[in-house]
Structure 1
Amino acid sequence: MRFNPLGSSGLTVSEICLGSMTWGIQNNQHDADQQIQRAIDTQINFIDTAEMYPVPPNKETYGDTERVIGDWLSRHPAQRQALIIMSKIAGPGIGYIRGGERMTGKALPVALDASLERLQTDYVDVYQLHWANRPTAHFGTHWPNQVRPSKIDADRERDTMRELVIALGEEIKAGKIRHWGLSDETPWGIHTFLQLCSELNVPRPVSIQNEFSLIHLKDWPYLIETCVLEDVAYLPWSPLAGGALSGKYLNGERPAGSRWTMVQRQGLFRDTAMANQAIARYVALANDFGITPSQLALAWCRQVDGVTSTIIGATTLAQLEENIAAFSITLTDQQLAEVHEVLQQFSQPF
């Protein structure tokens, strides 16, 4: 296992981060226990969760993933200090989470305390803002004019961001948060938060999670350059594009129990004709290379300059083993050239 610095935090994290969003719907406590133990056995020290999980999010299971992790921690208290656990406060738009309201300085400690109670821990290592209060080009809305920055009230956004930074600083002083980070943000968001931290003398964000994969490249190169030069760890989520890059959804297939058979909160925006053409090409390349399609996608992601740790998820131990094994694979220059030939042809397929 390789380890990398988590931005400016002083923490060192495994290059694999264990994602948990299936725990509570697709996976039960026993499954999660097995996954956590397997991760620890392979020296993974990094676990990501969120108050909103599991996914697909719904009122009945809200917070259950944190409860699953908390159950495990209650039975393995000696392991707590060895693990770096990240959670997130949900952004606006989900009615059963604080009425769907924006993140505010007042809401943040309420959300944090609830997460700590569910996690059965006194602190979270990295507390993240799950998505921005303002509209941003995420979740399939990255085509021109789907989001209109000219309509955003920058002063209003800065005021709320200032509130959040102050609240985060107070929770860091209280010892409930060791570090904080961003998720589903933009270069403007990163720089604005950095400026506010400098102004308010609050620790800087140490990381950002954004969607990034062979079929979702919008953060390369500009946001990733921002992260590298500002010492903010870049943590790709959905490196398998919601499982699509495994090839299991090609030709309209929907394997029983898979995520795409479930109710989708925002629709299957990744399921386009061009995306499927790209995935078919990547599946063929993986077969030529003697690895699985998932391993090709994860090995490629690991080799992108600026990536700190890649968030993986699995519903079975076999999938977890397959994904972990991908990080022992180094694609050759020739293999990368073949991958990049497809990448250039299908640089934005959804």
Structure 2
Amino acid sequence: MKYVPLGRTGLNVSRVCLGTMTWGTQNTQADADVQLEYALANGVNFIDTAEMYSVPPTAESYGKTESIIGDWLGRNPSRREEFILATKIAGPGLSYIRGGGPITGKSVVEAVDASLKRLQTDYIDLYQLHWPNRTSPHFAKHFPGHISFSDVDRNAHSAQMLDILQGIDVCIKAGKIRHFGLSDDTTWGINEYVRLSDKYDLPRVASIQNEFSLLHAKDWPYLIENCVHEDIAYLPWSPLATGALTGKYLGGARAEGSRWNFAQRNGLFRDTPSVELAVKGYVEVAEKHGLTPAQLALAWCDQVDGVTSTIIGATSLDQLKEDMSAFDLALSDTVLTDVMSVFREYPAPF
């Protein structure tokens, strides 16, 4: 396993981050225990979760994943130091989470305490804002014209961000969290938090996790360039595009228990004719070079300049083993050329 700095935090994280959002709906406590043990035994020291999980997000599934991790930690308290634990506060819009209200400094303090209780730990290494209070070009809102940025009150959102930073500062000074990061945010979001932290001597953003894959590379290169030069860790989520890049959904296939058999909050917006064609192309490249489609997609993600640690999730141990094996691969120039020939044809298939 390779390890890299997590921004300026002084922490080193594995190139593989174990994502956990299926634990509690698609996976049981026993499944989670097996995945945790395997990941830790094979060098993973970075685990990501969220108060909103498991998915699909519902009032019934809220907090389940953190509680599953907490159950394991409750039985293995001495192993807390083996890994860096990241979780997230949910953004606005879910009525069953703090009435659907925006993230505030006060809600950060409340949510941190609730997560610590569910996780059965005294501290969180990386506390992330799951999505910003303003509408951002994520979750299928990235095509031009979907959002009018001119309608956003910049000063109001900047004031909210300052309030959030002050709440984070309270938690860091109390020893409840060590560092903070963003998720599903933009270059402006990153830079405004950096500006505010510099101006008011508040905690500096350490990382950002956004959706990133061969099917959804909107952050490459512009946001990733920003991360490199501001020394902010870039953490891709859904590098397999919710399983699409494995090829398992080609031709309308929907294996029992697979992700696309579950209701999606935004609909199956990845299920498009262009995705079908793009995935077929990537599957052909993988087969040509003796790789599985998942290995190709994950190894590609890992080699992108500026990527820090890639968040992978699996519903079975076999999937986890296959996915982790991708990070031992070095894609040749020939493979990368073949990959880019497909990418150029389908640069934004959903």
Q: What range describes the TM-score normalised by the shorter chain of this pair?
A: over 0.9
Matches within 5 A, 1:1-350: 1-350=1-350
Amino acid at match of 1:323: D
Q: Indicate if the aligned counterparts of 1:166 and 1:200 stay in contact, CA closer than 8 A.
A: no
**TM superposition shift of 1:199:** 1.2
Which structure 1 residue ranges, 4+ long, deviate > 6 Å from structure 2? none
CA distance, structure 1, for counterparts of residue 239 and residue 229 of structure 2? 23
Indicate if the aligned counterparts of 1:88 and 1:127 stay in contact, CA closer than 8 A: yes
Q: If the length of structure 2 is used for normalisation, what is the TM-score?
A: 0.99
Cα shift at 1:170: 1.1
**Aligned residues of 1:208 and 1:234 also touching (Cα < 8 A):** yes
The size of the alignment, in residue pairs, is 350
**Which letter maps to 1:60?**
E
* C-alpha distance in structure 1 between counterparts of 2:145 and 2:155, whole Å: 21
Q: Deviations over 1:46-85 (max 9, x none)?
A: 0000000001011111100000000000111111012100
1:259 positional shift: 1.0
Cα shift at 1:203: 2.1
Gaps of 5+ in 2: none
CA distance in 1, matches of 2:275, 2:318: 26
Structure 1, residues 196-255: CA drift from partner, whole Å, max 9, x if none?
Answer: 101111121111000000010100111000000000000000000011000011111110
One-letter code aligned to 1:173: K
For 2:120 and 2:72, the matched residues in 1 are separated by 9
How far did residue 271 of structure 1 move? 0.8
Counterpart-to-counterpart distance in 1, 2:281 and 2:34: 33
Contact map agreement 1:5 1:13 (CA 8 A) in 2: yes
Letter in 1 for 2:328: S
Instruction: Provide the secondary structure at the position in 2 that maps to 1:206.
Output: strand
How far apart, CA to CA, are the structure 2 residues paired with 1:316 and 1:9?
32
Deviations 1:30-54 (A, max 9, x none): 0000000000111100000000000
The CA distance in 2 between the partners of 1:308 and 1:346, in whole Å, is: 25
Deviation at 1:86, TM superposition (A): 0.2
Secondary structure, counterpart of 1:302 in structure 2 = helix
**Aligned residues: percent identity?**
57
Letter of the structure 2 residue corresponding to residue 75 of structure 1? R
User: 1:68-107: per-residue Cα shift (whole Å, max 9, x none)?
Assistant: 0000001111110121000000000111000111101111
Counterpart secondary structure, 1:106: helix
Q: RMSD in angstroms over aligned alpha carbons?
A: 0.6
Residues in 2 aligned to 1:201 and 1:336: alpha-carbon distance in whole angstroms: 43
CA contact (8 A) 2:109 2:170 kept: no
TM-score normalized with structure 1 length: 0.99
3-state SS of 1:81 partner: helix
Question: Which residue identity does 2:10 align to in structure 1?
Answer: G
Could you list the per-position Cα deviations for residues 168-207 of structure 1 after superposition, in whole angstroms to 9, with x for gaps in the alignment? 1111010000000000010000000000101111121111
Q: Deviations over 1:300-350 (max 9, x none)?
A: 000000000000000000000000000011110011011011111110111
Distance 1:250 1:132 in 2: 33
Cα distance in 2 for partners of 1:68, 1:196 equals 35
- The CA distance in 2 between the partners of 1:154 and 1:337, in whole Å, is 42
- Work out the CA distance in 1 between the residues paired with 2:230 and 2:11: 16
Structure 2 contact 136–185 (Cα < 8 Å) conserved: yes
- Aligned partner of residue 80 in structure 1, secondary structure: helix
Report SS of the residue matched to 1:339. helix
